[in-house]
Chain A
């Protein structure tokens, strides 16, 4: 299919329109077909040089399911300082319209600039639902955007459903021990979705949609807050979110040395090391390892929880793991309620024994 590039009405922006769809030449107006029930969904996409991140694929998976039930169009927005915002991959993921929100001030996440830009885009496209990843930037953006557009925010959702009269948002609360289902009486709801709960969308190159540059007006926003420094603390190995095996430690490790033992096991299993909140607060391990309500949300196939009591706020970050193994000295620890396999005992003896057993087993069954 050929695409033509035409000047957009502000004389600076360009849009790319598939030839077969003359209706989209009205793109300067609302992109929503009138009379649709849901009013459309806007996905705030996060992309890297390697393409959209996994959580963005999950946002699209959820958005496509909701679109099928609720109707309305599916739009996506990417924020960048340059042409990288004009991302046609998002059409293959299911976007009917991609808005490349482009401004020099949008190079990295900057709360004031992104909130303002997202507000301007929402006023333009009037979505009923804005889907954002439940990441640090997403958690920062969503409530501010909701207040600014007169909408509501649904934070840290594990599911969103359509229920004829509106969307229903399921989210953990009370330290991850309880689930609530919310509905809202606003025209727009901004929801953040936790990673690992929605099926990721698959690419389909046959999908068609249009791409448009959206240039927000940003001025004083950029001066109100200035980023002085950004210290990257990227883990040397695997990101916890990408790990298929995680060995995590808690208060029961009784000190920082315990993490060395866990590192050895994680290394043997090709996994990553995580932690509950207490060892991070006590400085036993980097805070970037924290898994839970206020830390990371992970979904490995195997989660080995060592010396972790299993409080709801921790389980909110790892409860979606396929198989949980719990190692604890307390046979009544709450973690065993979530675990598939339980070991009651001293980790200092058990973890090295498990390491030896894994090595023995691997020697017996070479790959």
Chain B
């Protein structure tokens, strides 16, 4: 049976209006309003979707969700299990509270090794909170896997994975030998919503919890390499001038403004 591991992150709902967030410049943290729901990061959710589609194409596959985060991140795993994944691993340790991309990639890679490796690792192209797009590639590098980024379609054919990937002004189709790591882009399409039956079943699916001590990680893998020097909301420099009047008047006034500023 094929084993697919999906790396997924639990993030404050990125679809919420940004007014629901406060930036604490002193602590250099983004603080979500109390009660704001946390969700599985949408690109990661699409990675789970990609794994489920591979299984539905007739591939006998076990799908494991691996998440690094606090105890509450277990909900991201539950969501993945309710979508149809089979097992979960929560990587939870006080030492990972401020984990950067380096530490996170090392932890995920070590967890995948502890699972006895797998045939395919999937991850979202970037997390919806820090938007960096580093951890997925890092896991691939640390495991010595080929990395294929920005997938909009993933099919497993024998011992290889065929990926349609999104690049500027082109779509590329590549074949990578398994095991491989593929990052998923939003072009893959919407992830399915968990149905009641799967949600009920999910409660009985196994979820392991591992701390840093359970994984083969050396001191450098447990030390951050990046430091956040500053965090702030950019100041908007413009003030919007609303143009009133009938549609024709609005259109002519705007055209005159733009013409006066040599923009048209």
Contacts and interface: CB of A to CB of B under 8 A. Distances in A.
Whether A associates with B in a native complex is: yes
Contacts of A225: 146, 148, 174-177, 180
A155 B134 contact: yes
A144 B141 contact: yes
Nearest to A325: B254
Select the residue from B17, B140, B169 with max chain A CB neighbours within 10 A: B169
Select the residue from B140, B175, B234 with max chain A CB neighbours within 10 A: B234
Main secondary structure of the interface of B (DSSP, over half): mixed
A144 B133 contact: no
B240 A323 contact: no
Interface residues of B, number: 80
B138 interface: yes
A360 B140 CA distance: 58
Nearest to A182: B226
A234 B169 contact: yes
B203 interface: no
B115 interface: no
Contacts of B261: 323
A303 to B, nearest CB: 10
Nearest to A148: B141
B2 interface: no
A233 B170 contact: yes
Contacts of A178: 23, 30, 231-234
Contacts of A245: 263-264
B170 A227 contact: no
A323 B263 contact: yes
A249 to B, nearest CB: 17
B97 interface: no
A239 B169 CA distance: 9
B258 A136 contact: no
A324 B130 CA distance: 26
B254 A357 contact: yes
Interface string A166-182: 00100111111111111
Contact of A294 (B126, B175, B238): B126
A344 B259 CA distance: 20
B148 A357 contact: no
A312 B17 CA distance: 9
Contact of A345 (B170, B176, B247, B263): B247
A139 B137 CA distance: 10
A293 interface: yes
Interface in A342-358: 342-345, 349-350, 353-354, 356-358
B101 A153 contact: yes
A143 B134 contact: yes
B168 A231 contact: no
Interface stretch (B57-65, B82-90, B184-192): B184-192
A143 B181 CA distance: 14
Interface residues of A, number: 88
A361 B225 contact: no
A136 B168 contact: yes
A353 B248 contact: yes
Contacts of B257: 341
A147 B141 contact: yes
Contacts of B227: 182-185
A353 B255 CA distance: 10
A281 B175 CA distance: 25
Contacts of A180: 28, 130, 228, 230-231
B167 A137 contact: yes
A168 B189 CA distance: 36
Contacts of B147: 111, 140, 144
Interface string A125-150: 00000000001110110011011100
B131 A337 contact: no
A156 B225 contact: no
A178 B130 CA distance: 9
B194 interface: no
B168 to A, nearest CB: 5
A30 B205 CA distance: 56
B186 A226 contact: no
Interface in B81-138: 101-102, 105, 125-126, 128-134, 136-138
A179 to B, nearest CB: 5
A156 B243 CA distance: 35
A293 B130 CA distance: 11
| Those 3 A-B pairs whose CB atoms lie nearest each other, nearest first | A353-B251, A147-B141, A143-B137
30 contacts: A140-B137, A140-B149, A144-B137, A155-B131, A168-B229, A173-B129, A174-B21, A178-B23, A179-B233, A179-B234, A182-B227, A184-B225, A185-B226, A224-B176, A225-B146, A232-B169, A233-B170, A245-B264, A281-B187, A302-B258, A323-B258, A336-B242, A338-B236, A339-B240, A340-B240, A341-B242, A342-B242, A344-B242, A353-B247, A357-B248
